Amino acid sequence: MAKTGTTTQGLRAAIERSGYYPTLVAEAVQAAVGGEPVVSYLVHQETTFDANEVRRHVTVLVLTGTRFIVSHTDEQAADATSPSPYATTSTESVKLGRISSVVLSRVVANPESYTPGQLPREVVLTIGWGAVARLDLEPAACGDPNCEADHGYTGSSTADDLSLRVSEAGDGPDSVRETLTFAQALSEATAATTTR
């Protein structure tokens, strides 16, 4: 379930509609937003399966005039550190000028008959701001099949601070549409910061 909009009251209502510890999530998000007006937001709840347990997770993305705020809340079962179930929530506030990439991948069925405005069946929104990078390394080799020398390693580094997958089948068409709307607002905001 994803919800998007442009007001602080709408953000609070979307968090409450998600039904996932709304008081906890709303307090954490509001503390991060502070007094800034909300330009756009996206609330996305997902369920994951971990061994024999079902866990819920909610991600709240908020765009203000100067910052991108991301909040994650997860629930945890009782364990050795806590005799009762608990939730963890975190927020991160990123200046818009630090966002280095906004990647939106679209999966479209029957591309030969695609029409402008047609809703993708799935989107993946990936946002990078340099806090997390993924390294993919492999042994380097030369073109000689008989060479036994050590050529070191080669690889690539990918900024991957946040990746959010939304599908029509799993989340519904409105969630896909709302993710597209938020991605566009964030892309426009980051473009505006580079021209200032």
Q: Residue 27 falls within a domain, yes or no? A: yes
Give residue-wise pLDDT tens across range 27-53. 999 999 999 999 999 999 887 776 777
Cβ(8)–Cβ(183) below 8 Å: no
Q: How far, in Å, CA of 35 to CA of 64, rounded?
A: 10
pTM of the model: 0.81
60 occurs within a structural domain: yes
Asked if residue 129 is part of any domain, the answer here is no
pLDDT digits (tens, 9 = 90+) for 156-186: 665 567 899 999 998 999 999 999 999 999 9
Supply the DSSP symbol for 113: G
Q: Is 17 a domain residue?
A: yes
- Domain assignment present for 161: no
Asked if residue 54 is part of any domain, the answer here is yes
The whole-angstrom separation of Cα 195 and Cα 17 is 37
8 A C-beta contact, residue 42 and residue 63: no
Task: Report how many domains make up the chain.
Answer: 1
Tell me the helices (H) and strands (E) count for the chain, helix number first. 4, 10
- Say how far apart CA 183 and CA 117 lie, in whole Å: 15
Query: Residue 41, exposed/middle/buried by CB under 10 A (0-12, 13-18, 19+)?
Result: buried
> What pLDDT, on a 0 to 100 scale, did the predictor assign at position 137?
72
In which domain, by residue range, is 81 found? 1-96
Residue 85 lies in a domain: yes
pLDDT band of 6, cuts 50, 70, 90 = low
- Between vectors from CA 101 to CA 97 and to CA 103, what angle results, nearest 5°? 145
